[in-house]
């Protein structure tokens, strides 16, 4: 009996050794995101996209990754807890957080701990500000705001615009400010400028009426899709039909349960990813994502996917090995990301500045018959 027990124990030890040897051979990537709660669509999409990339890269047999996502419910405090869990787990490189407010919190932690991070989608400037080891895969908010104004002007979509923004949200405010500045510069007339905040985000009768009364031809909505859906419904309620122009937070509006997609017909948004694109990489990603998760990936999924591939490229170039400490990897990554050019599914020839912001070309999309269609 003792002998059998000893053999089992020995076998278990060998197995454990094998398992840990495998873990030692993989880079530990961690990220936080809203996997539950109102912003869960974003968090799950980014996590799923990253998981597909990890699976693909691991299957190639070269660099190995181990990915772990922790839930932060789009809350800064919970994000710190989630981050600490990841640190205890031994995270070497980070995917930051999916949404801006939590990411500002985790970014200062990764900065202090010297862990390199690239966020798929937290677009606020405050995320990367004054942090040499924090990068973004998505556009920074200022770029979204000014790019939107530029796009509206270039395409001649409207001359009088209204903007409704969320004044307690760093994401919304950041885009609003650069949009406003760029609009003034281009001579785009901002005729209505109204706000809302948490706890006051259901009644939009005043904001929409203000836009209508001032003759706005287009309403710019720098916000997430939940309040945006209410604004679309409110405009419909009073029979007001301006053009609507959103940013990446609008992505996901079509997946709202029970949402009448007719309300979103003609809504435009700037997004770097188009699931309808026909290039090989996008098609392969979209097919895999659909097989695995049963839905069409949004921009967040694509950003998550690209982050892991960017890491793969940077780690290979720098010759990093999984036994290196987070700090050593961090220095190598800062050097790589500021010098390399990356081709992903959210853009070709992406480069990063020392401020951590990405440079890539945005694509205009319009919602038509309940699906996103490229505008260019």
Partner 1 sequence: MSFLYFLINGISLGSIYAIIALGYTMVYGISKMLNFAHGDVIMVGAYICFFSLTRFNLPPLVAVAAAMLVCMVLGMTIEKLAYKPLRQATSLAVLITAIGVSYLLQNLALLLFSPNVKVFPSIVGNGKISMGDIVVSHVTIVTIIVCIVIMVGMTLFTGRTKIGKAMRACSEDKAAAQLMGINVDATISVTFIIGSGLAAIAGVLLCSTYPTLVPTTGSMPGIKAFTAAVFGGIGSIPGAFLGGLLLGIIEIFAKAYISTQISDAIVFAVLIIVLLVKPTGLLGKKTREKV
Contact at 8 Å (CB) between 335 and 232? no
Among 20, 202, 284, 325, binds partner 1 (CB under 8 A): 202
Binding mask 180-199 for partner 1 (x = CB under 8 A): --------------xxxx-x
Give the bridge partners for 160, in sequence order: 189
Beta carbon nearer to partner 1, 38 or 353: 38
Among 102-110, 149-157, 253-261, 305-313, which window interacts with partner 1 (CB under 8 A)?
253-261
By CB under 8 A, residue 241 contacts partner 1: no
* Beta carbon of residue 112, minimum distance to partner 1 (angstroms, whole number): 31
Beta carbon nearer to partner 1, 48 or 150: 48
d(CA 272, CA 4): 60
**Close Cβ partners of 362 (under 8 Å, ≥ 6 residues apart):** 139, 143, 144, 147, 151, 270, 271, 272
By CB under 8 A, residue 319 contacts partner 1: no
Best CA proximity match to 118, nearest among 31, 245, 222: 31
Among 11, 13, 238, 373, binds partner 1 (CB under 8 A): 238
Binding mask 255-294 for partner 1 (x = CB under 8 A): -xxxxx----------------------------------
Best CA proximity match to 113, nearest among 136, 84, 135, 81: 84
Among 209, 277, 324, 375, binds partner 1 (CB under 8 A): 209
Among 11, 213, 371, 373, binds partner 1 (CB under 8 A): 213
- Residue 72 has a CB neighbour count (10 Å cut-off) of 31
Is the alpha carbon torsion for 299, 46, 73, 262 positive or negative? positive
Phi/psi at 346 (5° precision): -100, 15
Beta carbon nearer to partner 1, 168 or 328: 168
Rounded to 10°, the helix 100-113/76-89 angle is 40
Beta strands in 100-157 (DSSP E): 116-119, 134-136
Residues 357-376 that bind partner 1 (CB under 8 A): none
Question: What secondary structure letter does DSSP report for 18?
Answer: H
Beta carbon nearer to partner 1, 109 or 248: 248
By CB under 8 A, residue 229 contacts partner 1: yes
Q: Residue numbers of the site for partner 1 (CB under 8 A)?
A: 36-38, 40-41, 167, 194-197, 199-200, 202-203, 205-207, 209-210, 212-213, 226, 229-230, 233, 236-239, 256-260
């Amino acid at each position: 009996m003792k002998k059998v027990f000893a053999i089992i124990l020995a076998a278990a030890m060998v197995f454990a050794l094998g398992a840990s040897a495998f873990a030692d051979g993989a880079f530990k990537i961690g990220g936080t995101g809203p996997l539950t709660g109102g912003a869960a669509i974003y968090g799950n999409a980014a996590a799923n996209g990253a998981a597909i990339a990890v699976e693909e890269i691991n299957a190639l047999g070269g660099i190995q990754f181990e990915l772990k996502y922790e839930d932060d419910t789009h809350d800064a405090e919970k994000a710190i807890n989630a981050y600490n869990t990841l640190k205890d787990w031994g995270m070497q490189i980070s995917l930051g957080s999916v949404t801006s407010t939590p990411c500002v919190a985790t970014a200062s932690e990764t900065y202090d701990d010297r862990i390199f991070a690239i966020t798929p989608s937290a677009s606020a400037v405050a995320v990367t500000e004054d942090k040499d080891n924090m990068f973004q895969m998505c556009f920074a908010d200022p770029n979204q705001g000014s790019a939107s104004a530029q796009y509206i002007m270039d395409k001649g979509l409207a001359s009088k615009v209204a903007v409704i923004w969320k004044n307690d949200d760093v994401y919304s405010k950041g885009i609003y400010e650069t949009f406003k500045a760029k609009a003034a510069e281009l001579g785009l007339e901002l005729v209505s400028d109204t706000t809302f905040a948490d706890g006051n985000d259901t009644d939009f009768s005043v904001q929409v009426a203000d836009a209508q009364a001032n003759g706005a031809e287009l309403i710019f909505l720098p916000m997430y899709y939940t309040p945006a859906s209410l604004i679309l419904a409110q405009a419909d309620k009073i029979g007001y039909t301006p053009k609507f122009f959103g940013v990446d937070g609008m992505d996901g509006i079509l997946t709202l349960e029970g949402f009448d997609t007719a309300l979103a017909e003609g809504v435009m948004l700037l997004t770097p990813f188009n699931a309808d694109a026909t290039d090989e990489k996008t098609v392969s990603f979209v097919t895999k994502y659909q097989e695995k998760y049963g839905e069409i990936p949004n921009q967040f999924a694509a950003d998550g996917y690209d982050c892991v591939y960017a890491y793969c490229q940077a780690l290979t170039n720098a010759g990093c090995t999984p036994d290196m400490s987070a700090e050593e990897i961090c220095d190598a990554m800062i050097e790589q990301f500021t010098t390399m050019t990356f081709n992903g599914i959210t853009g070709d020839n992406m480069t990063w500045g020392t401020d951590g912001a990405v440079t890539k070309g945005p694509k205009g999309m319009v919602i038509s018959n309940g699906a996103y269609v490229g505008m260019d």
